[in-house]
Amino acid sequence: MSQTSFSGAATPADLLRSLLDADPARPLITYYDDATGERVELSVKTFDNWVAKTANLLQDELAADPDDRVALLLPAHWQTAIWLFACWSVGVLTVPAGDPAKAQLVVSGPDTLEAAQECPGQRVALALRPLGGRFPQPLPDGFLDYAVEVPAQGDRFVPWAPVDPERPALEIDGEVLSGSHTVSLAAEQAKQLGLTAEDRVLSTLSFDSWDGLAGGLLAPLAVGGSVVLCRNSENLTPEALDARIASEHVTRTLG
């Protein structure tokens, strides 16, 4: 299988750099939460800034290294996408919906804090509130509040060592993928879906499976496209969905 993708990226972190070089101002991820009315839009540059801060938190404050497993107990959310790319920037193995007990670090949303306490290592909690807000209530012992910790981190990230494209980067659907394999599979998924840089994909799928992660994030980005992530949209009327598709210039829908 070919190891090429948008601008020849070899790892997911390279893919983000290619997108940044191509057009830093273009919209990359638009997020809707239909339970709260939240809408967030991130340009490539803004997304990269969040990724850099999160990667610095991982590397400098949480001492993550390439031998670590990071369990992500998070929904398909704009902050989840940031954590995925931050992990890939550092070079750690990322496991969506992974077992916290087998991870050196767990990143949890508000609904999975009890399960996340099984992690024997570092624990980070995301409130997933509008505008990336802090938790309104005290966290269980042993958790850091992401919204408290990340603002002070640097806006540029440099890994302690270059990320090896052949090291394990993603464990999903019971399979461990290297960084280069993740990117090549994303490019292949984009080809199968017929995606181009002009496409804007709306997805309601979870990131816990390859179909959801690739279709709703990696495949569109692998060809220079963009995504619209929708959470809690099961009660959205067909009329409201059609209006969103039109207003966001969506070309493909998944879910």
Q: What is the pLDDT of residues 157-177, one digit of tens each?
A: 999 999 999 999 999 999 999
Q: Helix 179-193 crosses helix 12-22 at what angle (to 10 degrees)?
A: 60
CA dihedral for 81, 112, 110, 245, sign (positive or negative): positive
Asked if 208 contacts 77 with a C-beta cutoff of 8 angstroms, the reply is no
The phi and psi torsions of 27 (rounded to 5 degrees) equal -60, 135
CA dihedral for 200, 205, 207, 212, sign (positive or negative): negative
pLDDT at 130: 87
Residue 51 pLDDT level (bands cut at 50, 70, 90):
very high
Measure Cα distances from 8 to 52, 118, 177 in Å: 21, 39, 18
Q: What is the mean pLDDT of residues 24-47?
A: 96
Q: What is the mean pLDDT of residues 28-33?
A: 98
pLDDT at 35: 93
Q: What percent of the chain has pLDDT over 90?
A: 92
pLDDT at 217: 98
Q: What is the mean pLDDT of residues 28-36?
A: 96
| Tens-place pLDDT, residues 79-114 | 999 999 999 999 999 999 999 999 999 999 999 999
Q: What is the mean pLDDT of residues 219-226?
A: 96
pLDDT at 3: 36
Q: How far is CA 219 from the centre of its chain?
A: 13
pLDDT at 1: 31
pLDDT at 9: 76
Which residues, 6+ apart, have CB-to-CB distance to 46 below 8 Å?
A: none
Asked if 64 contacts 47 with a C-beta cutoff of 8 angstroms, the reply is no
Q: Which domains does the chain have, with CATH numbers?
A: 6-254 (3.40.50.12780)
Q: What percent of the chain has pLDDT over 70?
A: 97
Computed over every residue of the chain, the mean pLDDT equals 94
d(CA 205, CA 227): 12
